[in-house]
Each structure stands twice: as C-alpha cells, then as structure tokens.
Structure 1
C-alpha cells in the first residue's frame, strides 16, 4: 500500500494543502551521517489506547518512516501528528524523534525532544541514540546526565548507548564510571551491556580490563567473542586475537562474518598465509562465501594481497558476485602493494565502467600514491581531473593526497595552488606543503609557510619538524636548523631516533659535521642501520667521502649490533669511486659477495660506476656480465664507464645490444662516446633516436648534442639546436660557450655568456671553465683576466684548479711566460700538477728551456710516473740542440719503464 493511501485512510477530512509546508523542514536538515541504530520496541508498552484509534494509525505510519528514513515523509508524519494532536502521545513523539534522527535531521529531533514535557526513560534513550547516530557523542553524555538529575532514571538500554558514546570518544574514565553504575544497579546480567563494555575497554586501549570483563561473563554469545577477537586486533595483538578465535571454535560457538573477518585480518598482520587459508576453508564450509557476507571476502582479498599471494586475492575478488567499493579498493591496494602497476590501472578502468560501484575517495587516495611511486604524471593529472568531475576535490584527504602528488612530481607551484584553494586545512595539509617546498629546494617558501603555520597552531608535531628540516640545506640555514633542533628538545623528541636521524642529515647539509658526529656519538648504542646510513649517505652526497668511509669503519667496529645493508654498501662504494680508491672498492666488492648483498642490483650498479671512475673497465664489465638482474641503470652505468674511459667503440657496441628502451641518461653517455670518436654519422643516428623518443628538450641531452656536433666540426648545427632548445639550462649555455671557444670564436662565447646572465641563469664553475678556455683559444688575454678577477666577487664562483690552468694556458699561449709563472706563485693554495703542466707546455711551445727545466723539476717530484713531462722537456732539449741532455732524459724514461699513451687517428670506413 502506498504511503499516500495510508494517510487518506487515517485522516479523510484533513486539508492536504498544508502538507507542502512541511517541506520547509528540509532547510533545517543537518549534514550528520548515521552511524548506529537502536530500535525502541518498548514503545508499545506505554500505549494504553485501543489499537484501532487514529493515534495508533499515525504511530504505525511514523514507525514505517523509521524503517525507510526520509526527511519529506517524516515531515508529513509530523504535520499529521500535529493536526490530530497526538504529539502528547509519548510513543508517537519517540518514533517521530527517531525518524528525524535517521533522516539526518538531528536539529528537528532536538527541537521535538525539547517540546516533550512528560519524558520517560524510553524517549531519553531515543534522544541519546539520536546523538550517537549523528556523531554528537558529548551531547549524548550530557543528556544522560540530565536524565539522572531530573529523576527520569535509566535502564540497561540507557547504559548501553552511553557506553557506546564513551567508546566512540575513547573516554576510558567515563566508561569506568558507567561500568560502576552497571554494577551498582545490578544490570550486568544483560549480555548486550557486557559486550558493549568489553568493546569500550578495548577501543580505549585497556585490553586487560576488556579481558577481565570477558572472563567474568558467564553467558557468552557470538558478539562477546567478536568483541575480544576484534579488540585484540585493535590493540595490535594479532596473535592473541587468533587465540580467542580458536577458543571460540573449541567452545562450540559458531563464528559469524565478523569473527572470520577479524581472524583473517589477524593472520594477515602476522603474515600467516597458511592459517588464513584454513579460515578461508572454514568460511566456505560455513557458507559465508556468498554475497551477503561481503566483509569476509574483502578481508580475504586484503589478507592474500598482504601475504604476497596476489593470484589467490584476485580469484576471491573475481568469484565475489556482488562487490562493494571496499572489494574494489582492497584489490587495487593489493595490486599496488605487489608491484602490479598495469593490473591496478586496468582494474581502475574496469571499476569506472561498472555502474554498480564507482570509485570513491578511498580509491583515489589508494591509486594516487602509486602514480607518485612510479612517476606517472599523466595518470596522476588524469585522476585529478576525475576528482573534479566527480566533485571529490573538496574532500580534505583527497586534496592532501593531490598536494603531495604534485610536490613529489617537482611541481610545488601546482601544489601551492591546491593548498591555497583549500577551504579548510588540517595538520597533514600544512606538513605536506611544507615538505613539498623543502624537498623541491624552495627553502625560503618552506620557512615562510612554517612561520605562518606557527601563528595558527600553538604546538607542532614531529611530522612538522621533519618536514621543515630539509629546507636547511646550506651554511646560511644553520642558525634556523639549530632553532628547530632546540624546538625538538623542548617538545621531548630528543630520544626519537627518526628525529635524531633527520637532525644529523640537516647538519651535514649545513656543513656542520661536528654536530652530526656529536649526535651520532650520543645515540651510539641505540643507533640503528638508518642512523648510520643517514650519516654515510649524507657525507657521500655532500662530497665528504673520507668522512663517509670513516663512519662506515666505525659502524663495523660496533660489531653484531648493526649490520650493513645494500644502501650502506651503495654509498660507501660510491665514496671509494669518487676518491679513486680501487683497492678499498675491491674490498667492499668482496664484502658484498660474502654477505649476499652482492646480488642486489643497486650494489652491482654502484660497483660498475666505482670501477669505471677508477679506470678499471674490465672489472666493471665483469660485474655487469655476472649480474642476473640487470636493469636500465646497469646498462647506463657500463656505457658511461666505457665512455668516460675513452673506449667509445665498446660503448657503442653496448648501446646496440641494449635490452631496454633508452632514457635521457643513456643518450648522454652514448653521445659523449660519439663526441670522442668524432664520427658525425653515429652522432646523427643517435640524434634521430632522441627526436623519435622526444628527449630533445632534456637539458643534459641537448647539451650533449651541442658538444657532439661542435666536436665533429658542425658548429652551425650546434647553434641551431641551441636556438631551438626551450627552457635552456646552465648545462646548455655552458655547452654553447664551450662550442664557440672550441672553434676559436671567443667574442661569440663572451656574447653568449652575457645573454645567459640576462636570461637569469646563474653561472657555475663549469661556465667559467668554458668561458676562460674560449678566451684562451681566441687569444683574448685581457678579457680572460677580467672575467677571472670578477668570478668570486660578482658571480660567487670560487676559482679552482681548472680555472687556474685556463689562465696559465692563456698567458702561456700569448708568450707571457713570466706573468704565468708569477700568477702561479701568487696562488693562495699549493698549485696542483696540472697548473705547472700548462706552464711547461707553454715553455715547450716558446722554447724557454731555462724556465722549462725548473718547471719540469717540480713536476718530476709531483708526478714522477707521468711520462709526458719527461718527453716535453726532452723535446725542448732537442729544439735547443742539447742532444746529450735529451738522450739522458730518454734513457731515464726507459730505466723507469715509463710510457706515454700512444696517439691515434680514426677514419670512418663505409
């Protein structure tokens, strides 16, 4: 029968023109979401009227509204009750109050309750339940206090719903008071109330009290056992949860879907796949595999995924006929956590075309981190668009996830736009944005946002401090970093190992190694592998290679307390490579093989790079050949190794047999090899690959192309590539300056340098090496000296050995040997062999035997095994006609068994 027909039967004489006015009640509808329900069948006990009166018919109608909550129909029922004057009838008022609550119009429930004067326990229980249904737990507690103060009293149902409120609020003390009231009133015979108290204690992290309550309960039902099984799981005791599940089985109590779901989750936490399979079998035996118990299937999907059996998880998922959003999200999470990236996106697409269930905010929050992990920017932006179309972008968790995504995609400005558009922000929002600025090098913005945050929040969390610390990345930030350190001490995080690790890394970034090692010494006993890796990796990244090796030795002296892992070896092997310590690198290679970390692909790649930097290409190739899990990085490392060691032919051979699609790093390495060969045909072929794959805009690839065409004599093509490159980086500008210098066009090199400054690109050490070299080749001595003198003052670049070599070469080429000699003598630091070598070459070129002899004597002491210096001096003797001295020098070369690398020429045949 239709609702309208029922209304006409009850009140045939009512003017229904008044009913549309009831819709005005919609304006008072709140946004609360119902989370609980409590039927009030006791209402009939208060009804002393005949069952066939209009009042009773209205009551039946309103009760039907509580079963199908709807604000419009409830408002109509309210109007009818007003019309016939039945609101004074307590059962009617109680049912109407409940109907409003379940229709999410808590304000109307509250208003109706205020109008009732002859309240009893049942309507009080209804009001407390309405509070819980709408998330107003404090209000529920206040109504209970009013009931006791007004003398209305309470029953076991009252205590049950108030205990539920305490459970939601995690108010242990209030729950204990209610427990005491239950004991005093003699109501603990009620098993439902006992179960609620067990659940309250468990959710308040007082598992021992929950267990005592369970032990004292004589009449245990399925809910009692479920309270303990889920309570133990809630308190991170999965092994105890499984114990209760087994005890439940032995007791003869039949487990339900809640018992099975909790037990499956507990076995998942323990990684116990076999026990999970046993529960799965039990689930099938008891008949819980059907669609009415979807929670069991969802738990099985999550459990199998967590234990790594993704095929079993997918089987359960596919066999579940009526899937809900949790089923799809669990399967998505399973694919993501097991590295099945393409399968996860295929499932997302399948979910989108399944009209029964659509992606929700949990889906988005699950899939976006996957895009971040695999650097899938296009897919991430697509998901962003999807959230806008589905009007999810206002959800705080989704927006926080998007801010994090753009930050990790190196797009902090897009993350900032999202952050600024937030109507409300929580602590996660601020931490994510501060971290995004810090990780992308926007230190000033991170510190400013951190100060803004402190104006709104009186106390920050550890996550906030960890987010701001990476912004302290230079010596200028040392004072700010020190203040963060003080703040951590003040907030009581001094013993938090994660906080200490972050502080040590911060001090390394600021160049204050003394503070780093002081912190390491303080936590020496408690330091874990992450602590040691933080110091070792930090020192390696910042160029403190010796300190990294010393820290590794100190870690090994600690004995069995801490054992190195693959990350440790990668960083110390890299330090050895940068220092050219091939012997120590071989020792680490042996250690890696001995401790079974030698099979780790990252360690093998680090070994290839280390051998390459030490010039040992054969050992590098041996490690590469023995690797069973080579990835693209492995190929890039070995190609770069041969390219860096002037073995371009083998680098090209490896490129031709590449097992993966090349990336930007591959092209940079192989273009360097083409530059060494000077064969334009190979370079053009590689350029074609670059264009087809769309890597021409990469700054390092475009710079490598410039170098290749320039060295192969095609300055015109190099200029064309430079002009077509959008968003030029400092590497691109440096290559163009170097190209002009290589072709003795110093004026153009200087002009390019000034264009670079106008474009806002900051000059680096390499920029001035290219510029000074260009001035040297073009004979622009005065200009070269002028730029050298202003390097530090105007551009903040401190001169290093390469710059000194350029100046000496510049002065030497122009015949100003004495000026070059004076320049060397006035250097602040002890000149390296390369500087004197440049002067020796100039002496040889201009035939200054006297100065050449003095310079050569110094070089024989600095680098006694370099045959080139002996040969240069011998050639000067020959040019001066001093054959005796030349013969003696040649004999000395033979006696010391010194050899100069043979020169060679290449021609491309075919």
Structure 2
C-alpha cells in the first residue's frame, strides 16, 4: 500500500469539522461502487471514492475494515479506528464489531480484548468474534468463560466453540458441546456437522461417527457437499475406506474437496498406487487439482519412491501455481529425499518463498535420512538464528539424524534442549530415537534403563530398536531378554524372531536358532520376504531373493556371475558369515549373490546409461555383504548407487558409502 495514509486524505478532502451524522442519503450507485472496490481489496481507491456524503453512513467503515483483513493491513486498520473515533461512529455496534473482528483476525488479540471490554453495547456477534479469537490463540479457557457468560447464543456461537475445539484436537470436548447444543434445541447447520464429523475423525470413533451420520440424514444434510466430504473423511480416517467411498459415490455432484477427501483417504490408509490412479481420474473428470491434492499425491510418490512420477507431479504444481505453497514444498522436499535425490530436496527448499517450521523440519529430516547429520545440525542452528521456534517434529528429525551418524553426545544435548529450553514433552518416538542412539553407541544397559524408567508406556518398536542394537554388538544374553519384551507386546512380529534367530546364528548357537524357528512355526508367524525395487523409464521393476520371475532373470544371473568374478579380482570376499543358515560354502555364496538388492542393481547396470545414478529401494535393512559389494561395484563401474533400506539411505560412490559403515 506504499505510504498511503488516511490522515493525508482526511486533510486533502478538508473534511475536518464536518458533522458526520449528516442525514443526507448516499446514492445507490456510489455505494455500490464503494463496496465493489472494498470487496476487491482496493482499499485506497475505495477511500478516495468518498465524498462528503459518504461519511454519513457508518456501515461504509465496516466495508473498509473487512477489506483490511485479507490484505493484513493492520496499519490501515488502526488509522481507520482513529477516524471512526473522530467521526463519532465508534458507538455503532456494527462498526465496533467489525473493528473487533479486524483486530482479532490480524493477530492483535490483546487489542481486541481491550476493545471488547470497553464496548458500550455488546451483542451475540461481539461475543462470537472474541470466542473465535481466543480459539485461534488456543486459549480454550478464556473462550469457555465468554461462552458461559453469554445471556443468549445463536448457531454461530455453538459453531465457534465446536469448530475451535475440534480444530485443536479437543475432540471429546467438541462433541460434548455439540450434545449440549442438541439438548437445548439448537438446529445445527452444515458447518456444525462438518466440525463434529472432523472431531469423530480425530478420535477415530466409528461408533460416534455413525451416530452423527444418522443425525445428518435426519436433518437432510446427506447431499450437502461440505457435510458429505466431512462424512467421507471421518470414515476414511477411522479406517473404513469402503464406507467413505460409498458416501462420496452417493453425492449427486462432486467438487475438488470431495476428490481431495477420497485421494487423501487412500493415501492415509496405505494405497499410494490407487492415489495416483484417482488423481488421473480426477483430472479426466475436468477437476483441477489444488494444493491439498498435490500434498497427497506427492506423498504417495514418496511412499512408492517413484522419482519420475514425482517429477511429473512437481511440474504440474508449477503449472497450477502451487509450487511455492509451504505444504507443497514440504511434501516435495520429503518426496525427493525419499526417492534418493537429496540435491532436488535442497533445490526445492532453497526456492521456498515462505518461512515455516514444518518445511525446515522436513529438510532437517532429509539430511538425517541421507546420513548428513552435521549438515542437519547446522540447518537447525540457522533455523534458530532466523527466529523460528522448533517443535517436537524438528527435534525428532534431529535425534534421528544424530542416531544414524553416531553423534551420541549431540543427540543427548538436543534431547535435553528440547525439554529444558523449549519446554516440549518428549513422545515415545523421541525416546525411541534416544534408545537407538544409545544402542548403536554400545550403551545397551543405559538404553534398557531409559526404556524402563521413561514416563510413557513402551511399545514393541522401542524394544525392537534395542534388540537391533544387541545384534550389532552381538550381546546374545541381553537379546534374549529384550526379545521376550517385544514378543510379549507383539507375539506375531516376524522381524523380532528373525533378529533373535540371527543373533543366535552369529554365535553359532544352532539349537537356539532351531528353537526360535520352531516357535515361529507353532505361532504361524511368517518371515517378511526381502523385496527390492527400482524405477526405470517410469516403470517399476521388483525383485525378490533368487527371483526367477523377471523376464530378464537369466541375463541378470549371468551378469551377476561376471560381476562377482570381477569384484573378487579386486579383493572382494563374500561375507558367508552373514548367511545365517547351516549350509555349505558354495550354497552360501550363491544365496549372497542373489539377494534382491543385488538383482536390482545388476538389472539397472544392464538397462541404464553410463553415469546415470542407480536408485534402489528395499523393504528390509541392507545386509553387510551387499553393503561391501556395492562399494566395489560403484568403483568398478564408476556409478553412484543409492540404496534406501528400511532405516536410511546409503550413497555408494568411488568405493565408499555415505554412512561411513555405520548403520
């Protein structure tokens, strides 16, 4: 707005001293022109369109104040406030309410509260505005106090309470307010029902959600787009995809919100391939994706680790004008990172326009995932320097980065900083990272002590994290005890049986190995097979150990024999000790050579051009033999090999790995 000032125009128009209570009527066309300019956000032009007669209508101040809100023109709003006081219009309840709304929505809640306290005539609208202001500041108690002291309420009042409570995950209280609203005879509107259904989704309560669904039908809102989308979201968030889809299919018309609900539901319930299909169907149906659509679709590309498709979606976000939206940028940073292209993550981050703690946390996580803990720490320090306040996700990313780079002291320092300086309460995930950090560093007893003394209840994952550390440090006695804790919480967890079996096998305790496997058979626990996949020319190729199903399996097998022979000439020795079965040496070498990740890398070498990085994804952790082999292959073939396993990324280049053999 430049240096535009209402007072300059005030003097220019020479209207000081004019009686603003003039009863002269304003021409309808002039009023229409004025309100049109305000609705378009052209505040300066609207003000300049004033004639002496315009000052006789206080409602025109309301239009100007409303125009200040989307423009975030707090300075101009304050100047208007002064003119309103000077003009004698401050006693007008409509003008006062719009002033209150302007301050509340511009982040000046304390000014709004002071104004609310001085208002000579409050009404329901005044109270509703201040309740919304308290809710947006997460001052629930103050909002409740105003609500309880109101002599009368309307539907907007109840909506302010229900929406505010469910927005900040006070879902049970939100549903309680809705029940009271119903008991007192207030009829909900589509916004009330939408908020209540979001509360049910937050609680993942299908029972409550179905009750509200029945009430929706009784009230005749089942075909309302807002309510229908909220209903579908509730079912999908609660794990009932079929019922959610049924709601969307029954809607007479769909809008972008309905499509987004369907796509997000598929993404949240682990159907990334279906998300991409639905995205294409949505576009074919003539709907333009928005920032919400892109976040779900990009996240699905992350899950599938399909870099080519992710790049195509990125191009579409640019075309749609959504590429600079913070949520989209965060998703792009995560997607490129999970697809093995850290450089593209950094580029997306550097091209950001807005500052957001979620985006910074995503970039810190990306560095940690790729073994660049020192860079993650520097980025955190830069984030603090720029005045951004870290949240629990930021610290989770930092702890993860430290645990995968062996930065024990730094990790403990960040954990203490999180609690002492930022006042954040550690969640189970934070404790799991610290246990991983301690376990990898060999502090097994200290890690166990932390689990047993932490204020949150341990789950199978945190015990399994310590069990993995027992395998690294070959502590069979502690492993047996920790495995018992895991299997007590999750008796069907195949990974824990396999870990324990491998620990015994490493110690050549074949009888113990046999006992573990017998226990698996007795409980009908199936071992998760190792699967590796990669994308070449927008086509995903998948491999299992000793896989013969691929059309080029014979060619891959022959190439692997030649490659293994070449590696042996360079000094490679197969790590037959990592084959934890009682079989002869030749069989062990054959099994090692046909691990799923080796098959994938061999296929990539045969089907991609020289110099092109190879990106392979694996559902389990990479074994020690494949890790050594890929260092040799990267040097022999002069290729960068990027492997994402279940724990982290490994960048093999010129005979070295980015993890420094610490994984």
**TM-score, shorter chain, exceeding 0.5:** yes
Matches within 5 A, 1:576-725: 576-578=470-472, 580-582=474-476, 584-593=478-487, 595-615=488-508, 616=510, 617-626=513-522, 628=524, 630=526, 632-633=528-529, 676-677=585-586, 690=599, 694=603, 725=637
Paired with 1:554 and 1:484, the residues of 2 have a C-alpha distance of 16
The CA distance in 2 between the partners of 1:441 and 1:120, in whole Å, is 65
CA displacement, residues 202-226 of structure 1 (integer Å, 9 cap, x when unaligned): 4344444444444444443322332
**Could you say which residue in structure 1 is the equivalent of 2:297?**
367
**1:233 Cα deviation after fit:** 2.8
Partner of 1:23: none
Counterpart among 328, 338, 345 of residue 269 in structure 2? 338
- The correspondence of residues 295-314 of structure 1 with structure 2, limited to 5 A, is 295-314=226-245
In the alignment, which residue of structure 2 is the partner of 1:384? 314
Shift of 1:354: 1.5
How much does 1:467 deviate? 5.4
Higher helix share: 1
Distance (whole Å) between structure 1 residues aligned to residue 351 and residue 360 of structure 2: 13
Contact 2:138 2:168 in 1 (8 A): yes
Match of 1:165 in 2: 102
How far is 1:296 from its partner? 0.7
Q: Deviations over 1:96-118 (max 9, x none)?
A: 12101223433322332488774
Of residues 177, 189, 207 in structure 1, which corresponds to 2:114? 177
Which is worse superposed, 676-685 or 563-572? 676-685
Decide which moves more: 403-412 or 190-199: 190-199
Instruction: Choose the corresponding residue for 2:185, options 252, 267, 279.
Output: 252
Is 1:461 the equivalent of 2:390?
A: yes
Q: Is the 8 A contact 2:89 2:95 kept in 1?
A: no
SS across alignment from 2:165: helix
One of 475, 478, 496 as aligned partner of 2:424:
496
Give the secondary structure class of the aligned counterpart of 2:491. helix
Distance (whole Å) between structure 2 residues aligned to residue 603 and residue 624 of structure 1: 10
Distance 1:553 1:459 in 2: 34
Equivalence map 1:862-877=2 (5 Å): none
* Pairs within 5 Å for 1:445-524: 445-446=375-376, 449=379, 457-458=386-387, 461-462=390-391, 492-493=421-422, 495-498=423-426
Q: Which residue pairs with 2:31 in the alignment?
A: 94
- 8 A Cα contact 2:163 2:174, kept in partner: yes
2:328 equivalent in structure 1? 398
| Contact 2:438–2:447 (CA under 8 A) maintained in structure 1 | no
SS at match of 1:385: helix
Residue of 131, 139, 157 corresponding to 2:76: 139
Equivalence for 2:197:
264
1:327 aligns with: 258
Partner residue of 1:408 out of 316, 338, 342: 338
Residue 233 of structure 1 pairs with residue 132 of structure 2: no
Shift of 1:274: 1.6
The offset of 1:288, in angstroms, is 0.9
Structure 1 pair 760/611, CA: closer, same or farther in 2 (3 Å)? closer
Report the Cα offset of residue 570 of structure 1: 2.0
- Please name the residue that 1:8 is paired with: none
The aligned residue for residue 462 of structure 2 is: 568
Q: What TM-score, normalized by structure 2, do the two folds share?
A: 0.72
Q: Deviations over 1:597-627 (max 9, x none)?
A: 2212332332232233233242353355346
Give deviations 1:277-300, integer Å, cap 9, x for gaps.
Answer: 11111211221122xx31111111
Contact map agreement 2:37 2:45 (CA 8 A) in 1: yes
Instruction: Structure 2: state its 5+ residue gaps.
Output: 5-20, 533-544, 565-573, 607-613, 617-621, 644-652
Q: Secondary structure at the match of 2:344?
A: helix
Deviations 1:393-434 (A, max 9, x none): 233432232123223333222222223334555454444434
Write the distance in 1 (CA, Å) between the matches of 2:111 and 2:322.
37
Q: 2:175 aligns with which of 217, 222, 242?
A: 242
Q: Following the alignment from structure 1 to structure 2, what is the Cα–Cα distance between the partners of residues 91 and 624?
A: 83
How far does residue 171 in structure 1 lie from its aligned partner after superposition? Answer: 3.5
Shift of 1:573: 3.1
Q: State the match for 1:436 in structure 2.
A: 366
Structure 1, unmatched stretches of 5+, are 1-27, 29-44, 50-88, 499-527, 637-653, 708-718, 732-758, 768-910
Distance (whole Å) between structure 2 residues aligned to residue 685 and residue 471 of structure 1:
31
Find the residue that maps to 1:288 and give its secondary structure. Answer: coil
Aligned to 2:45: 108
Q: 1:553 to 1:313 in 2, by over 3 A?
A: same
8 Å contact 1:365–1:398 — kept in the other structure?
Answer: yes
Q: 1:601 to 1:166 in 2, by over 3 A?
A: farther
Give the conservation status (yes or no) of the 8 Å contact 1:141–1:162: no
User: Aligned partners of 1:475, 1:723: CA distance in 2, in Å?
Assistant: 23
Deviation, 1:181, is 3.4
Distance 2:349 2:285 in 1: 32
Change (3 A) 1:247 1:46: farther
Larger % of strand: which? Answer: 2
Task: Tell me the alpha carbon deviations over residues 720-766 of structure 1, each in whole angstroms, 9 at most, x when there is no partner.
Answer: x99973417799xxxxxxxxxxxxxxxxxxxxxxxxxxx954599x9
Judging changes above 3 Å, is the alpha-carbon distance between structure 1 residues 605 and 239 closer, same or farther for their aligned structure 2 residues? same
How many residue pairs match? The answer is: 581
Once residues 395 and 683 of structure 1 are traced to their aligned partners in structure 2, the CA distance between those partners, rounded to angstroms, is 46
Quote the residue 2:569 is aligned against: none
Q: Which residue of 1 aligns with 2:221?
A: 288
TM value normalised by structure 1: 0.55
Structure exhibiting the larger radius of gyration computed from Cα positions: 1
